[in-house]
């Protein structure tokens, strides 16, 4: 196994060697760039013997980070890149609180519980009265929430099977082959067999009939397909719980398509995850796992521990974590309310439709994503006819690929990822732009302008110029090194984030 931390370019390491000199001969000053630290390689392997002044450490690290892409121009990610100053202030003021210290920080726990109650009701969890506490927990993101939900489904299935004297050796989970990689992780980490429904051309989401065909006595859960599972339950008496992975959609659908039935209104939906750091509009580090009721969270998974003098219930993978993200989520919920979420989600949904239309109008692209709020606020698109010529669009007169387009856009700062669809539809290659809160009308127009500019530049390049551009970009892309670092790893997975 090669670690990601090794993935920094070899060329940079070579440069470090060239910087060495006799410190005694040098004249150093108290300014950051006149200091001896700026004349030395930055520590990469060993803890330095000596201290360095805070402003030097700050500047050296900040300068390194300047080579990262700008988060606001990263159109690959759903993760929030803008929060109001008041939210940032609350986060900074609470950054040193360890959320797990319930006794010491009871208000942080109370704030988590308020968030759980609000989100559970947003997802229509059945409650007996307005002040009933809902069942859920804050997590680091949807991945942790999904791990917890898979554990709960597995344990509940085991309890039911054991009570009937049946074996519990071979639990399986049914999902679409387009699931996010955390589902594969959950299955492998917790010994659950992965049972996939594959995508095909034109069918990029889980096909309910195929999913239900895979159900057997060892199925601990499934994603979606309520009606067919209800019919199966009526026929077999076996109830298969549904977990909804609402990582991105959980904070979009309730405001853009409030009548869409996807949540606890469907009787077989027993748990839902959502990422607070995606359309929950918080900075990265927060997610939520919500259960229909306490019945679906087996008690022996919840640890009651006595820590720092207090009894506390814990159902998380990690023990310690910061409280500030939980607090930021509560800020967003009460600051925006239904009206605020509706206007933000409405805006970005319209921007996505506008961008899709503008891309289509160039005559070069085919749009693969949904419109009018039927899907997430994103635009997935591909060159017309690209599969036929393996991206080499001789048919339409061009010789460049979606990767070349992505490279040219990167020169302007835009990160527009190029993807491959899920297994069995991997011949479909696409580009994807995710629209976040800070993707305004103006930004939409600027992006299109740059896409058109990139296309016209690429159109003018001949094959050898394109080849030169490709090798130059390969040399300089740090991401490429990150990918290479994992070459040879046994569990390499080519997950797609295609159209979801």
Ligand X SMILES: Cc1ncc(COP(=O)(O)O)c(C=O)c1O
Decide whether 76 or 323 has the Cβ nearer to ligand X. 76
Least CB distance from residue 78 to ligand X, whole Å? 6
Is residue 345 near ligand X by the rule CB under 6 A?
A: no
Give the residue from 126, 111, 124 showing the smallest Cα distance to 332. 111
Q: Which residue, judged by CB position, is nearest to ligand X in the bound state?
A: 141
Q: How far is the CB of 312 from ligand X (least distance, A)?
A: 24
Rg (CA), the chain: 25
Say if residues 308 and 104 touch (Cβ distance below 8 Å): yes
CA 299 – CA 11 distance, rounded (Å): 53
Q: Which stretch binds ligand X (CB under 6 A): 23-31, 50-58, 105-113, 243-251?
A: 243-251
Compute the distance between CA of residue 274 and CA of residue 289 in angstroms, rounded to an integer: 7
Please state the closest distance from residue 332 (CB atom) to ligand X, in A: 15
The least distance separating ligand X from the CB of residue 491, rounded to whole angstroms, comes to: 17
Residues 143-162 that bind ligand X (CB under 6 A): 143
If binding is defined by CB under 6 A, does position 141 make contact with ligand X?
A: yes
In the bound state with ligand X, the residue whose beta carbon lies nearer, of 240 and 378, is: 378
Question: Does position 245 bind ligand X by CB under 6 A?
Answer: yes
- Does 206 sit near ligand X (CB under 6 A)? no
Please, which residue, 218 or 316, has the CB nearer to ligand X?
Answer: 316
287 contacts ligand X (rule: CB under 6 A): yes
Least CB distance to ligand X at residue 296 (A):
19
CB of 384 to ligand X, least distance (A): 27
| By CB under 6 A, residue 369 contacts ligand X | no
Q: Which is nearer to ligand X, 287 or 391 (CB)?
A: 287
Q: State which of positions 386-415 bind ligand X (CB under 6 A).
A: none
Distance in Å, CB of 35 to ligand X, minimum: 39
Q: Which of 143, 401 has the CB closer to ligand X? A: 143
Site string for ligand X, 26-55 (x = CB under 6 A): ------------------------------
* Pairing label, strands 378-383, 429-434: antiparallel
Least Cβ distance, residue 180 to ligand X (angstroms): 4
Considering the rule CB under 6 A, would residue 377 count as an interface residue with ligand X?
Answer: no
172 binds ligand X, rule: CB under 6 A = no
247 in contact with ligand X (CB under 6 A) = yes
How many residues bind ligand X (CB under 6 A)? The answer is: 12
Stretch that binds ligand X, among 45-53, 232-240, 242-250, 429-437 (CB under 6 A): 242-250
User: Considering the rule CB under 6 A, would residue 142 count as an interface residue with ligand X?
Assistant: yes
Distances (CA, A) of 223 to 156, 270, 434, 484: 17, 11, 23, 33
CB 242 within 8 Å of CB 222:
yes
Asked if 275 touches ligand X (CB under 6 A), the answer is yes
Nearest to ligand X of 141, 375 (CB atom): 141
**Which is nearer to ligand X, 60 or 179 (by Cβ)?**
179
Query: Which residues contribute to the site for ligand X (CB under 6 A)?
Result: 78, 141-143, 180, 182, 245, 247-248, 275, 287, 500
């Amino acid at each position: 196994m090669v670690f990601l931390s090794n993935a920094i370019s070899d060329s940079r390491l070579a440069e470090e060697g060239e910087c060495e000199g006799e410190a005694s001969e040098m004249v150093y000053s108290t300014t950051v760039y006149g200091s001896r630290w700026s004349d030395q390689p930055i520590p990469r392997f060993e803890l330095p013997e000596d201290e360095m002044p805070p402003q030097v450490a700050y500047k050296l690290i900040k300068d390194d980070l300047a080579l990262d892409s700008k988060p606001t121009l990263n159109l690959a990610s759903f993760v929030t890149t803008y929060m109001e100053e008041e939210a940032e202030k609350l986060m900074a003021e609470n950054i040193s609180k360890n959320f797990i210290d319930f006794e010491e920080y009871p208000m942080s726990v109370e704030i988590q519980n308020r968030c759980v109650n609000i989100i559970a009701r947003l997802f229509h969890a059945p409650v007996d009265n307005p002040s009933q506490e809902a069942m859920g927990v804050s997590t680091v993101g949807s991945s942790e929430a999904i791990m917890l939900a898979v554990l709960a489904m597995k344990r509940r299935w085991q309890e039911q099977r054991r009570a009937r004297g049946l074996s519990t050796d071979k639990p399986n989970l049914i999902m679409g082959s387009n699931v996010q990689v955390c589902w594969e992780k959950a299955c492998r980490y917790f010994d659950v067999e992965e049972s996939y429904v594959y995508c095909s051309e034109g069918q990029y989401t889980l096909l309910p009939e195929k999913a239900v065909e895979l159900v057997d006595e060892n199925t601990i859960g499934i994603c979606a397909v309520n009606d067919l599972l209800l019919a199966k339950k009526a026929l077999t008496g076996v109830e298969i719980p549904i977990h909804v992975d609402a990582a991105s959609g959980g904070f979009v659908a309730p405001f853009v398509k409030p009548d869409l039935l996807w949540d606890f209104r469907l009787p077989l939906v027993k748990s839902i995850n959502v990422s607070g750091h995606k359309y929950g509009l918080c900075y990265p580090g927060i997610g939520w796992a919500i259960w229909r009721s306490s019945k679906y969270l087996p008690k022996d998974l919840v640890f009651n521990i006595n820590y720092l003098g207090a009894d506390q219930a814990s159902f998380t993978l990690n023990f310690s974590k910061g409280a500030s993200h939980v607090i930021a989520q509560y800020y967003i919920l009460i600051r925006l309310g239904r009206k605020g979420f509706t206007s933000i989600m409405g805006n970005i949904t319209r921007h996505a439709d506008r961008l899709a239309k503008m891309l289509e109008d160039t005559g070069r692209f085919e749009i693969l994503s949904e419109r009018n709020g039927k899907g997430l606020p994103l635009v997935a698109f591909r060159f017309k006819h690209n599969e036929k010529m393996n991206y080499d669009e001789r048919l339409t007169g061009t010789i460049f690929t979606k990767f070349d387009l992505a490279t040219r856009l990167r020169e302007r700062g835009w990160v527009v990822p190029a993807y491959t669809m899920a297994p069995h539809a991997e011949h479909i290659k696409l580009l994807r732009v995710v629209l976040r809160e800070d993707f305004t009308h103006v930004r939409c127009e600027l992006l299109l302008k740059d896409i058109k500019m990139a296309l016209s530049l690429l159109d003018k390049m001949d094959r050898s110029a394109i080849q030169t551009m490709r090798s130059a970009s390969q040399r300089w892309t740090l991401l490429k090194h990150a990918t290479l670092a994992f070459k040879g790893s046994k569990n390499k997975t080519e997950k797609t984030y295609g159209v979801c």
